[in-house]
Amino acid sequence: MTHHLISGGAGFIGANLATSLLKDGHRVLAIDDLSRGRIETIHHLTNNPNFDFRQADCADRDALDAAIGEAEGITDVWHMAANSDIPAGIADPRIDLHQTFMTTFAILEVMKAREIPNLHFASSSAIYGDFGETMIHEDIGPLLPISNYGAMKLASEAQIRAAVEAFLSRADIFRFPNVIGVPATHGVILDFVHKLRNTPEELQVLGNGTQQKAYLHVDDLVRAMRHIAEIPGRYQLFNIGPTDDGVTVSMIAETVRDVASPSASIIFGEESRGWVGDVPRFRYSVDRLINTGWEPSLSSQEAVQRAVAEIVAQEMGR
Amino acid sequence: MTHHLISGGAGFIGANLATSLLKDGHRVLAIDDLSRGRIETIHHLTNNPNFDFRQADCADRDALDAAIGEAEGITDVWHMAANSDIPAGIADPRIDLHQTFMTTFAILEVMKAREIPNLHFASSSAIYGDFGETMIHEDIGPLLPISNYGAMKLASEAQIRAAVEAFLSRADIFRFPNVIGVPATHGVILDFVHKLRNTPEELQVLGNGTQQKAYLHVDDLVRAMRHIAEIPGRYQLFNIGPTDDGVTVSMIAETVRDVASPSASIIFGEESRGWVGDVPRFRYSVDRLINTGWEPSLSSQEAVQRAVAEIVAQEMGR
């Protein structure tokens, strides 16, 4: 049994990770400011004696340190806290500065002071920017993020790399594409479900629907992160994703429509990008991870199908 | 005539850049918090009617905006403000957070609000990390900075890249190695001169002297930056440096000794790195820049020889 701190522990990924770690008998301290995470996501864990939750802003070093308080023997921090609203971060760069980067910065300061050795970081495919048809592997360059979210994830990676040089024993960097599943708090599937709940006869889609992306189900993501955390090494950089090239926004729109409101018509926009900072197409190599013996259980298409069913059930109670 | 803002305008590179722009008849507004820059570096400019200096912390958006005040028609920002003490930044990460990254962040906010179109940014070879014998070109990856300084320069590049997507008309990223010349405010040559002034019979060197790096004279650097600023483009990424593989710390120590205190003995340490975050060896491709028609006037060795003469004259009055 080891003791794990999860920042963003009431968020979509953090809550799934906490459930997984607890299932294997580990202790978990989840910290979340509840600005985006919701306490409901971890209600099923609160009776577990190995689980603790504390509300704090992880970007505030002193508040974070106070939240950890007397918790003992923490060896691993899983840093999942971040802004998850990319367009909001483009409108106001202070959002990603605070929620995506300063969380990393303050967590590193607390880890140094408390001598916590291991960091596992939720980075993003957004650090790469737009490589068009080029297959994106971990060592590609130059890194040209086109959103403040991607910029502040890259800034976080850089600060973590310097910390490995100075004091951390180990850091894993997980770069992942869109992750889907429940409890959904944001994302394209949830948006579509909400739109169809409001206007069941029509689904308006930002962009022309041809944007194609890889989607990973959160169950596969958690399995991959925990797999990587077991690989010996000092600084590990892994793309995590399915092995396919992804699915289009129009496929997602159709899947949601078919489940949530079969008679609705789908109306597309004209832009190839949904918003500034949206990468229209994207080929993502997970060969490095596959070569370590991990493989996804679901393709992008299967992940979308499962997540749509889960999210419609969550939002519409069916 | 165009109107240029230089952040860190009283620093080593900023003051040389201001002199160059003014010589060509441009207007310059230099802003510096004088924490590292010194007002003496720009005394020779203060009678020039095209030159203005204002003291402000460029990491403070409101203070920076107030310092710009009613200045009109600024089209270009040259962002040279940064921490220049790498070991200090490793001991306290908040130094590079504030001086190296938050200056970039606040400058971008002010440029957006004031609709200033063009940014020229002093990045660093420190963003690359330790590639050993591999030739470092601009598109290499992964980027693994080993100092907080390098991390916050990379964070700055990332934030600038996202700003180009959102609102900037143009950004140039200059990645340069060690830059030397006068007015020297920091760096290995100045350290050696100070040591020999204090103990003329002996020069203690951090590390074993085999660290090899490329050195660029500030005159060549300013010429390169202004050359790149004339190349059409939206986002330009250039290594700037000499075309050689650099010189060793022991060559620099000997050159300083020969000029400043010829009878001194040189005593080396045992580590191959001078400090945590110091990259021991380093091969730097400037092919992209050479292919645009620029070339350095001095090799690393010639740059060191000239800078040693200049810095000894500055510090010892001879």
CATH classification code of A3-179+215-239: 3.40.50.720
Look at A144 and B276 and tell me if their CB atoms are within 8 Å.
Answer: no
Look at A237 and B108 and tell me if their CB atoms are within 8 Å.
Answer: no
- CB contacts of B165 in chain A (<8 Å) are 146-147, 276-277
Residue of chain A nearest B94, judged by CA positions? A105
Task: Find the CB nearest A161 among B109, B145, B161.
Answer: B145
Report which of A154, A144, A147 is spatially closest to residue A175, judged by C-alpha positions: A154
Beta carbons of B286 and B239 less than 8 angstroms apart:
yes
Rounded Cα distance between B83 and B95, Å, is 7
Rounded Cα distance between B213 and B252, Å, is 10
Where on the phi/psi map is residue A268: left (φ > 0), alpha (ψ -120 to 50), or beta? beta
Site of tokens 């070109």: B137
Task: Find the CB nearest B162 among A145, A165, A166.
Answer: A145
Which of B60, B94, B136, B143 best probes binding to A when mutated, by most A CB atoms within 10 angstroms?
B143
Confidence of residue B318 (pLDDT cuts 50, 70, 90): low
In this prediction, residue B276 carries a pLDDT of 62
Site of tokens 């790096």: B213
In this prediction, residue A133 carries a pLDDT of 84
Q: Which letter, b or e, does each residue of B17-45 get, where b requires 16 or more Cβ atoms within 10 Å of its Cβ?
A: bbbbbbeeebbbbbbbbeebbbeebbeeb
Look at B145 and A139 and tell me if their CB atoms are within 8 Å.
Answer: no
Task: Find the CB nearest A148 among B145, B162, B237.
Answer: B162
Q: Which letter, b or e, does each residue of A255-273 get, where b requires 16 or more Cβ atoms within 10 Å of its Cβ?
A: bbbebbbeebebebeeeeb
In angstroms, the separation between the Cα of residue B160 and the nearest Cα of chain A is: 8
Rounded Cα distance between B157 and B141, Å, is 15
pLDDT along chain A (318 residues), means of 10: 96 97 98 90 94 98 98 97 91 97 98 98 95 92 96 98 97 95 91 95 91 93 98 97 92 96 94 66 89 97 97 87
Domain map (residue ranges) of chain A:
3-179+215-239, 181-213+244-282+298-316
Look at A148 and B127 and tell me if their CB atoms are within 8 Å.
Answer: no
In this prediction, residue B61 carries a pLDDT of 98
CB atoms within 10 A of CB A244: 16
Look at B162 and A143 and tell me if their CB atoms are within 8 Å.
Answer: no
Task: Find the CB nearest B139 among A142, A147, A237.
Answer: A142
Site of tokens 């400090």: B275
- CB contacts of B108 in chain A (<8 Å) are 93
In this prediction, residue A37 carries a pLDDT of 79
Q: In this structure, what token pair is assigned to residue B54? A: 């204002």
In this prediction, residue B185 carries a pLDDT of 85
Look at A159 and B165 and tell me if their CB atoms are within 8 Å.
Answer: no
CB atoms within 10 A of CB B132: 10
- Dihedral sign, Cα of residue B13, residue B14, residue B18, residue B21: positive
Question: pLDDT per residue over B253-292, tens digit each?
Answer: 999 999 999 999 999 988 876 656 666 667 889 999 999 9
- Residues 6 or more apart whose Cβ sits within 8 Å of residue A38: A10, A183, A185
In this prediction, residue B12 carries a pLDDT of 94
Rounded Cα distance between B172 and B236, Å, is 5
B69-84 average pLDDT score = 96
In this prediction, residue B86 carries a pLDDT of 87
Look at B151 and A139 and tell me if their CB atoms are within 8 Å.
Answer: no
* Fold designation for B182-214+244-282+297-316: UDP-galactose 4-epimerase; domain 1 (3.90.25)
Look at B145 and A127 and tell me if their CB atoms are within 8 Å.
Answer: no
Report which of B256, B245, B270 is spatially closest to residue B316, judged by C-alpha positions: B256
- Residues 6 or more apart whose Cβ sits within 8 Å of residue A223: A20, A294, A297
Report which of A6, A110, A94, A131 is spatially closest to residue B61, judged by C-alpha positions: A94
Residue of chain A nearest B278, judged by CA positions? A165
Beta carbons of B181 and B218 less than 8 angstroms apart:
yes
Beta carbons of A179 and B177 less than 8 angstroms apart:
no
Site of tokens 């730097």: B284
- CB contacts of A239 in chain B (<8 Å) are none
Q: Which letter, b or e, does each residue of A2-36 get, where b requires 16 or more Cβ atoms within 10 Å of its Cβ?
A: ebbbbbbbbbbbbbbbbbbbbeeebbbbbbbbeeb
In this prediction, residue A271 carries a pLDDT of 80
ipTM over 0.90: yes
Q: In this structure, what token pair is assigned to residue B301? A: 């060795």
Rounded Cα distance between B252 and B247, Å, is 7
Question: pLDDT per residue over B245-258, tens digit each?
Answer: 899 999 999 999 99
Q: Indicate the DSSP class of residue A132.
A: T
Rounded Cα distance between A263 and B244, Å, is 69
- Residues 6 or more apart whose Cβ sits within 8 Å of residue A252: A188, A189, A192, A304, A308
φ, ψ of residue B275 in degrees (nearest 5): -165, 165
In angstroms, the separation between the Cα of residue B93 and the nearest Cα of chain A is: 8
Q: How far is CA B255 from the centre of its chain?
A: 22
CB atoms within 10 A of CB A306: 17
Confidence of residue B32 (pLDDT cuts 50, 70, 90): very high
H/E run at residue A211: none
E strand intervals along B68-169: 74-79, 118-124, 135-136
Site of tokens 């006037």: B297
Domain A181-213+244-282+298-316 part of CATH 3.90.25.10: yes
Look at B147 and A162 and tell me if their CB atoms are within 8 Å.
Answer: yes
* Fold designation for B3-179+216-239: Rossmann fold (3.40.50)
3-state secondary structure of B243: coil
The pTM score is: 0.94
Q: In this structure, what token pair is assigned to residue A313? A: 């059930």
Task: Find the CB nearest B155 among A90, A138, A158.
Answer: A158
